[in-house]
Structure 1
Amino acid sequence: MSKISSVNPYTGKTLASYEAFDLTRLDSVLDSVDKAQQHWQQTSLQDRANALRDLAAQLRKQQGALAKLASEEMGKTLVSAEAEVEKCAWVCEYYAEQGPAMLVDEYLPDEDSNGVERFVCYQPLGVVLAIMPWNFPYWQVFRFLAPALMAGNAALLKHASNVPGCALAIEKLLLDAGLPENMLRTLLVPGSRAAALIEHPVVKAVTFTGSTDAGRKIAATAGKALKKTVLELGGSDAYVVLEDADVKLAVEKCVTSRLLNNGQSCIAAKRFIVHTKLYGEFAAQMTEAMNKKVVGDPLAKETDVGPQAREDLCEDLAAQVTESIRLGAVLMCGGERDKTFYSPTVLGEVRPGMPAFDDELFGPVAAVIRARSDDEAITLANQSMFGLGAAVFTRDTRRGAKIAAERLQAGACAVNDFVKSDPRMPFGGIKASGYGRELGRFGIHEFVNIKAVVVNGEADHNE
């Protein structure tokens, strides 16, 4: 029987190995989750809310151990891992508080006064398959799991193969919080089994976060089986620095976003499109800020940037930087690789046609792009196959809000700040960044049957 192992990207040592599921065990797990969901959907909204509150409490109780495990399995700094666990507790509490009101029956006014009653109700779809990435091993799961459980669904988790420990820890968390058994089960199977899982009759819907290429394959498989999907895919969206921007503020926010999670985030800032009037000042300040960041052991408090999650990912990033420089980009700092570590890097004079402009750089590399006008900056920002998260920096916040709302092509936009997911707000992309929404009231309605019911009361009057 094959094994799934987790390897510490900082030390290179194997942390643990797990037996992969054979077909018999896999079928047994799917059947158990299906039965558990049928019981769970009969529970009251208040009971589900209470379960989410208990889950939030358990996340906080185990925060230290969970954060350390994530740092060891995929290299994120301990500080960011602790913040990730806290955010998971927040999303559980948000849906515990707000979820019941999002799921109550909605009655339409009886406009024709003929005794006809019309209402909309929300029923769970059943078992949702989640195929999740390694970069936020807890948050990626909980931002779908909290609303899914609140809505009466159960979950199957096919997590990235390099974070099996985090996946199993999530499964145990639910049990420690007192939820019924089999509300979420981790499937220790290789990615090659994804298609068969999607097609399995127990699975009623699929949520996926990952690369655009993988998302296309999952969408095709699910489409053939006529199963609902939510896809949150890659991103290489732009932060636009307009002519009147506060450069110091822009650099602070842009550097923070670019180095989020060691630069390994779909929604992290990647392309920085700067008006030519401010270009030199912005590039110089960003280079200085990136040079000051401490690279090292993710468990050390002083570390700002830890290793990349895998050595092959670091190799891919280095190749993208090298090719961009060959095509004319200017290396302003960084560009150095040591096994799984890649130094914080700034590339200047980036243009369309370079990997740093066209592709997603999944690591601590900033691409600074010159624009001759504010309008050209916005045009360059939208000149991308991606559309996940974008931002605009300007001292005129009303103008910035108008640009964010009407001109930037992305699922989420910020003004004078960096983009981040929030349980209260819908999250997702357009174009090659995917479709569907997580979080907020939109997220909880993705995996329910929105059912219209019409009741003719005429029979009551004929008795």
Structure 2
Amino acid sequence: MSIATVNPANGETLKTYEAMDEEEIERRLQLAEATFRTYRTTSFAERARLLNRAADLLDEDQAEIARVMTTEMGKPIAQARAEAAKCAKAMRWYAEHAEELLADEEPAESDVKDSGASRALVRYRPLGPVLAVMPWNFPLWQVVRFAAPALMAGNVGLLKHASNVPQTALYLEDLFHRAGFTEGCFQTLLIGSGAVDDVLRDERVRAATLTGSEPAGRAVAATAGEMIKKTVLELGGSDPFVVMPSADVDRAAEVAVTARVQNNGQSCIAAKRFIVHTDVYDAFAERFVAGMRVLEVGDPMREETEVGPLASERGRADLEELVDDARRGGASVLCGGERPDGPGWYYPPTVLADVTREMRVHREEAFGPVATLYRAADLDEAVLIANDSPFGLSSNVWTRDENEIDRFVRDLEAGGVYVNGMTASHPALPFGGVKRSGYGRELSGHGIREFCNITTVWHGA
């Protein structure tokens, strides 16, 4: 795949870039290693000053970088601005909280004495250069939620971004440089996916984080395992959205539409499988389908647009194949399901019912505005359907029954359970999944500690 900006609204190639050669990659690896030796000794106050400055610059650049993101991957312009604002918020959150999150920890006095020490503590120290392999769907947020904690911990970053968002990737390097970070603190590597393995094998790279597809995660994890390097993986998701009889069905259906089509449906944490108790199934389905039908689909640069094009022609073809397979297997298409005429990689909001386990859409992630509806006889069947997936990123549960909430929190196989609301990431809350959705956590104190050397310090009596 070439490194290029291709506008998904019309298929026009706007900018192309040459991949960095081995000499330039080597220069940047040397710079990252050299910069880390000094940057690791900077104070939390200095790191916070720089990161707050980056947040201020991002706020100033919000309109410009939003247009870049929309041009590169097609998200509606209002959502692009919101993404930029969210990134600035996360930067400020880590600037404020990193020092307390990484403060020295002292064991109980009795345990210190029992260890034979006069004093003992746990200290969090940075690891070194961290390679971040990032996707195109949230081209700013996915990077910042790694970069903000990594930089505040004293690490330096090397970004291998998706090849279809090179302008966003270069903007991020420039942003941190303009904020005052030393040049080697955060660098973008304009390289293809085939060059990632060699970079990850380099001894100067101490760890890696990847958000992306399951095959990409497997490849990075395999190499990192061979080289004994720490990794955090956030992979696919096929999140359940469960609605029980006590729920506010009108509100659940309204939120369900947003939960499915956010970012044109191209979100790992988007609700994709809607599992509804039989007592409220018809009422929910009617409202949900009606809401999907009236969404404004079109030019992502228009303020009124709610669903823009998919990011790539291949992505639309993959989505069509899932829908066509389900249709051939007997699924009912309640709305959408047909590619529109005209330029751009658009696909309409689509709802499938009567989905069976034999259909690909039941097992695979639908990365676009396609929802599947399931009918559950009771709570036990709802849990069974929800867990019948290779993924376990997050989940959404709608019920007013406290006993049901306890059961869902206990039994759902997911990294998050959102009750009477849709899944969303926040800097203060850990984010990540189980099963084939990956391992490790981003955000919160858990995320900043992922790439730290957790050091025991013991003083003899």
TM-score, with length taken from structure 1:
0.96
Q: How does 1:195-214 map to 2 (within 5 A)?
A: 195-214=197-216
- Give 1:47's aligned residue: 46
- Give 1:370's aligned residue: 375
Alignment partner of 1:347 out of 352, 371, 377: 352
What's the CA shift string for 1:94-123, capped at 9, x where partnerless? Answer: 111111011122223432397611000011
TM-superposed deviation, 1:395 = 2.3
- Give 2:307's aligned residue: 305
Residue identity matched to 1:17? T
* 1:6 aligns to 2:36 (yes or no): no
Residue identity matched to 2:315? L
Distance in 2 (alpha carbons) for counterparts of 1:108 and 1:372: 50
Say which SS state the counterpart of residue 11 (structure 1) adopts: coil
Say which SS state the counterpart of residue 241 (structure 2) adopts: strand
The answer (yes or no) to whether the contact 1:238–1:269 under 8 Å persists in 2 is: yes
Distance in 2 (alpha carbons) for counterparts of 1:110 and 1:118: 9
- Give 2:427's aligned residue: 423
Distance in 2 (alpha carbons) for counterparts of 1:100 and 1:404: 35
Q: How does 1:248-263 map to 2 (within 5 A)?
A: 248-263=250-265
TM-superposed deviation, 1:245 = 1.9
Residue identity matched to 1:323? D
Distance in 1 (alpha carbons) for counterparts of 2:351 and 2:69: 27
The answer (yes or no) to whether the contact 2:2–2:163 under 8 Å persists in 1 is: no
The answer (yes or no) to whether the contact 2:10–2:345 under 8 Å persists in 1 is: no
Distance in 2 (alpha carbons) for counterparts of 1:412 and 1:439: 13
- Give 1:331's aligned residue: 333
The answer (yes or no) to whether the contact 2:117–2:458 under 8 Å persists in 1 is: no
Distance in 2 (alpha carbons) for counterparts of 1:413 and 1:257: 14
What's the CA shift string for 1:256-289, capped at 9, x where partnerless? Answer: 1100100000000000011112111111111110
Residue identity matched to 2:259? S
Deviates most, 235-244 or 410-419: 235-244
- Give 1:408's aligned residue: 412
The answer (yes or no) to whether the contact 1:10–1:75 under 8 Å persists in 2 is: yes
The answer (yes or no) to whether the contact 1:74–1:309 under 8 Å persists in 2 is: yes
TM-superposed deviation, 1:11 = 2.0
The answer (yes or no) to whether the contact 2:6–2:72 under 8 Å persists in 1 is: yes
Say which SS state the counterpart of residue 133 (structure 1) adopts: coil
Distance in 1 (alpha carbons) for counterparts of 2:47 and 2:364: 42
Distance in 2 (alpha carbons) for counterparts of 1:16 and 1:210: 23
- Give 1:454's aligned residue: 458
Runs of 4 or more, structure 1, over 4 Å off, are none
The answer (yes or no) to whether the contact 1:110–1:116 under 8 Å persists in 2 is: no
Alignment partner of 2:134 out of 132, 148, 171: 132
TM-superposed deviation, 1:379 = 0.9
Alignment partner of 1:438 out of 418, 442, 445: 442
- Give 2:23's aligned residue: 24
- Give 1:461's aligned residue: none
Deviates most, 212-221 or 425-434: 212-221
The answer (yes or no) to whether the contact 2:266–2:369 under 8 Å persists in 1 is: yes
Distance in 1 (alpha carbons) for counterparts of 2:396 and 2:117: 51
Say which SS state the counterpart of residue 182 (structure 1) adopts: helix
The answer (yes or no) to whether the contact 1:239–1:271 under 8 Å persists in 2 is: yes
Q: How does 1:127-206 map to 2 (within 5 A)?
A: 127-206=129-208
The answer (yes or no) to whether the contact 1:257–1:268 under 8 Å persists in 2 is: yes
- Give 1:103's aligned residue: 102
* 1:361 aligns to 2:360 (yes or no): no
Residue identity matched to 1:350? V
- Give 1:123's aligned residue: 125
TM-superposed deviation, 1:244 = 2.2
The answer (yes or no) to whether the contact 1:70–1:81 under 8 Å persists in 2 is: yes
- Give 1:243's aligned residue: 245
Distance in 1 (alpha carbons) for counterparts of 2:275 and 2:362: 10
- Give 1:279's aligned residue: 281
Distance in 2 (alpha carbons) for counterparts of 1:265 and 1:231: 15
The answer (yes or no) to whether the contact 2:383–2:408 under 8 Å persists in 1 is: no
Alignment partner of 2:221 out of 219, 222, 228: 219
What's the CA shift string for 1:125-145, capped at 9, x where partnerless? Answer: 000000000000000000011
TM-superposed deviation, 1:198 = 0.9
Residue identity matched to 1:145? A
Say which SS state the counterpart of residue 203 (structure 1) adopts: coil
Residue identity matched to 2:145? R
TM-superposed deviation, 1:404 = 3.6
Q: How many residues are aligned here?
A: 455
TM-superposed deviation, 1:227 = 0.3
Distance in 1 (alpha carbons) for counterparts of 2:310 and 2:56: 31
- Give 1:81's aligned residue: 80
The answer (yes or no) to whether the contact 1:275–1:373 under 8 Å persists in 2 is: yes
The answer (yes or no) to whether the contact 1:404–1:415 under 8 Å persists in 2 is: no
TM-superposed deviation, 1:45 = 1.1
- Give 1:393's aligned residue: 398
Distance in 1 (alpha carbons) for counterparts of 2:143 and 2:260: 22
The answer (yes or no) to whether the contact 1:236–1:266 under 8 Å persists in 2 is: yes
Say which SS state the counterpart of residue 106 (structure 1) adopts: coil
The answer (yes or no) to whether the contact 2:379–2:404 under 8 Å persists in 1 is: no
TM-superposed deviation, 1:448 = 0.3
The answer (yes or no) to whether the contact 1:127–1:203 under 8 Å persists in 2 is: yes
Distance in 2 (alpha carbons) for counterparts of 1:416 and 1:88: 25
**Percent of residue pairs bearing the same amino acid type:** 47
Distance in 2 (alpha carbons) for counterparts of 1:442 and 1:294: 38
* 1:381 aligns to 2:380 (yes or no): no
Which sections of structure 2, spanning at least 5 residues, go unmatched? none
Aligned pair in 2 of structure 1 residues 323, 424: CA closer, same or farther (>3 Å)? same
- Give 2:71's aligned residue: 72
Distance in 2 (alpha carbons) for counterparts of 1:82 and 1:380: 36
TM-superposed deviation, 1:237 = 1.9
Say which SS state the counterpart of residue 26 (structure 1) adopts: helix
- Give 1:33's aligned residue: 32
TM-superposed deviation, 1:55 = 1.2
Distance in 1 (alpha carbons) for counterparts of 2:34 and 2:251: 53
